[in-house]
């Protein structure tokens, strides 16, 4: 029987937080609190709603909490936090976005990015290889950059990225080409003809009346459809992809794929 | 069967915090989380260790958390917080210290003080009347001021207050005389001859090698001995008083005496 409630919280309990706006949809509190409980670790992960305009003030205040041992970041804070931490770990630096930060013994905060590894971990756990894949990706923000770099690490053959902000898509494609000379990375519209993998890295699907990130005509049998949006059931995009015969991976699976890695980054459960 | 664990924490859970330094000893997380659970209220009370030098920064950051609905303050923050909130409720204003603050709909923070009422509530619940009592009190800080004013409200006859900082004791005595012309309030050393009630409002007892706040020769049968220090068992002072035949009231009982009032101040459980 799963028990998602945290353990008793006392004055000795260590705090962790996830910062985002909106915050109601986040899955990290349940995921981490389940892990802490399974490890008998006296800590709790909390939702913290912080507007973009308040991010620097909130982070400044939170780092003054002596029993706060780490933070997780979700939309829209993954890229702005790069400027606010004191030090970037290598993957956070290359991606240019972070989803986690921790304090060192001397009070400096280090940031790193686990979204890409989480997505890859989940795909591989479900038997999907990324080698040679032709990827059409929507969204070149923090999570989009993280997934693109992690997919490139795993040997995809091509990645076409689209973003409402075309310069962001161009920048990601150029950064990928520089880091992976063998990868055909380009900015451009999504298209089914030459793609076998669809990845939504936009927030489309968080609100009920959002349009789909990909047209249904872009989806076909045997493809792989990945979503970063967290919902209790399939997002409309994944439901459409599923109906078209795609294999699907949810935002929750991606989160599950990285919880242990982030916990280790926080110094919790260093043995698997 | 008591179950002190909080309910499941999701992105929709409301946060409350208790700020203090040290923090390990606080009882508020268990007390409030038990209350929230009994009311089926989706909220959690958390320990937050904040050093005095960081208090303004921490509060500035915490008020940027959109899902934080209230804060409780313990040593050493009860007096400094008076300067940091935007508005003082009447008791917080007269006491000159607060132990709770809440945000209004427009984002202003209001502070109030419940320590005195909590102490009186607990004493009265255990059948102790304060009317006409001769009180010897150690400590004229935030909690000391709160208890002195609440005791004066209930008709004690005399209060002698001692503090390492003699000017604080003089100030409290003068403020009491101004507010309660019939009360014999004075600063001075503790002494048993003319007292029937001993109240410790200092942190003495938090550390194992602290001296007792009152000499054992000050304690006598039939007296009432009150402590604000929170410990799982009796503090050394209360254990000594108990051995001398005093009735005793613990810091935990005082906390229990105010949890519902603070929760109501936070807008939780408005019906008893």
Q: Give the C-alpha separation, B231 to B239, whole Å.
A: 12
Band the pLDDT of A243: cuts 50, 70, 90: very high
Mean residue pLDDT of chain A comes to 95
Phi, then psi, of B159 in degrees rounded to 5: -140, 120
- Closest-CA residue of B relative to A47 is B11
* Boundaries of every domain in chain B: 14-113, 116-254
With beta carbons under 8 A apart, name residues in chain A contacting B27.
Answer: 11
Contact, B109 vs B60, CB < 8 A? no
Q: Does B54 touch chain A (CB under 8 A)?
A: yes
B239 Cβ contact list (under 8 Å, min separation 6): B233
Which of B5, B10, B67 is closest, CB to CB, to A49? B67
User: What is the C-alpha separation between A61 and B62, in angstroms, rounded?
Assistant: 6
B45 contact A CB<8A: yes
Q: Which of A10-14, A197-201, A228-232, A249-253 has the lowest mean pLDDT?
A: A228-232
Domain A14-113 top-level CATH class:
alpha beta
Mean pLDDT over residues A95-117, rounded? 97
Q: Decide if B14-113 and B116-254 have a common fold.
A: yes
Structure tokens at A230: 């967290």
CB-CB: which of B9, B54, B65 is closest to A58? B65
pLDDT tens digits along A121-171: 999 999 999 999 999 999 999 999 999 999 999 999 999 999 999 999 999
φ/ψ region of B245 (left if φ > 0, alpha if ψ in -120 to 50, else beta) reads: left
Distance of CA A1 to the CA centre of its chain: 28
pLDDT in tens, A203-217: 999 998 999 999 999
B244 is annotated as an active-site residue: no
Confidence at residue A190, expressed as pLDDT on a 0 to 100 scale: 84
Q: How far is B63 from chain A (nearest CA, A)?
A: 8
**For A66, nearest residue in chain B (alpha carbons):** B49
* CA–CA dist A32, A10 (Å, integer): 18
Active-site entry in B12, B78, B171, B244 = B78
Find tokens 């599950």 and name the residue: A256
* E-only strand ranges, chain B: 14-20, 43-49, 68-73, 87-88, 100-103, 109-112, 134-138, 158-162, 184-187, 197-200, 224-227, 247-249
Question: How does residue A232 score in pLDDT terms, banded at 50, 70 and 90?
Answer: confident
Strand, helix or coil for residue B90: helix
Contacts of B245 (CB under 8 A, 6+ apart): B220, B221, B222, B223
State whether residue A26 sits within 8 Å of chain B by CB: yes
Asked if the peptide bond before residue A76 counts as cis, ω within 30 degrees of 0, the response is yes
Residue in chain A nearest B19 by alpha carbon: A65
Any CB–CB contact under 8 A between B57 and chain A? yes
Q: Which of B25, B45, B64 sits opposite A58 (nearest CB)?
A: B64
- Does residue A66 have a pLDDT over 80? yes
Q: Which residues contact B173 (CB under 8 A, 6 or more apart)?
A: B159, B161, B185, B186, B187
Write down the pLDDT at residue A193: 65
Give CB contacts under 8 A, 24+ apart, made by B269-272. B269/B35, B269/B39, B269/B41
Q: How far apart are CA B115 and CA B143, in angstroms?
A: 6
**ipTM for the whole complex:** 0.91
> To which CATH superfamily is domain B116-254 assigned?
NAD(P)-binding Rossmann-like Domain (3.40.50.720)
Give the per-residue pLDDT at A270.
66
Q: What is the pLDDT along chain B (272 residues), one digit of tens a residue?
A: 458 999 999 999 999 999 999 999 999 999 999 999 999 999 999 999 999 999 999 999 999 999 999 999 999 999 999 999 999 999 999 999 999 999 999 999 999 999 999 999 999 999 999 999 999 999 999 999 999 999 999 999 999 999 999 999 999 999 999 999 999 999 999 875 689 999 999 999 999 899 999 999 999 999 999 999 998 899 999 999 999 999 999 999 999 999 999 999 999 986 54
User: How confident is the model at residue B270, as a pLDDT?
Assistant: 66
Q: How far is A117 from chain B (nearest CA, A)?
A: 23
* Cβ separation A15–B59 shorter than 8 A: no
Within 8 A of A15 by CB-CB distance, chain B residues are 46-48
Specify the pLDDT at position A192. 57
């Amino acid at each position: 029987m799963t028990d998602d409630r945290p353990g008793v919280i006392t004055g000795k309990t260590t705090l962790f937080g996830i910062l985002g706006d909106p915050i109601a949809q986040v899955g990290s509190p349940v995921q981490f609190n389940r892990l802490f409980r399974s490890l008998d670790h006296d800590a709790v992960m909390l939702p913290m709603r912080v507007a973009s305009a308040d991010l620097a003030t909130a982070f400044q205040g939170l780092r003054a909490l002596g029993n706060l041992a780490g933070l997780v970041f979700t939309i829209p804070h993954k890229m702005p936090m790069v400027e606010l931490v004191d030090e970037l770990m290598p993957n956070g630096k290359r991606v240019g976005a972070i989803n986690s930060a921790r304090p060192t013994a001397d009070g400096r905060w280090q940031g790193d990015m686990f979204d890409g590894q989480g997505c890859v971990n989940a795909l591989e756990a479900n038997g999907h290889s990324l080698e040679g894949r032709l990827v059409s990706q929507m969204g070149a923000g923090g999570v989009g950059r993280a997934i693109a770099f992690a997919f490139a690490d795993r040997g995809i053959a091509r990645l076409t990225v689209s973003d409402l902000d075309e310069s962001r898509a161009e920048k990601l494609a150029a950064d990928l080409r520089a880091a992976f000379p063998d990868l055909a990375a380009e900015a451009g519209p999504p298209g089914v003809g030459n793609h076998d993998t669809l990845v939504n890295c936009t927030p489309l699907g968080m609100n009920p009346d959002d349009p789909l990130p990909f047209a249904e005509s872009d989806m076909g049998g045997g493809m792989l459809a990945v979503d970063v949006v967290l919902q209790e059931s399939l997002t409309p995009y994944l439901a459409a992809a599923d109906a078209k015969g795609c294999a699907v991976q949810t935002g929750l699976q991606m989160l599950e794929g990285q919880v242990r890695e982030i916990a280790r980054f926080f110094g919790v459960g260093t043995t698997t």
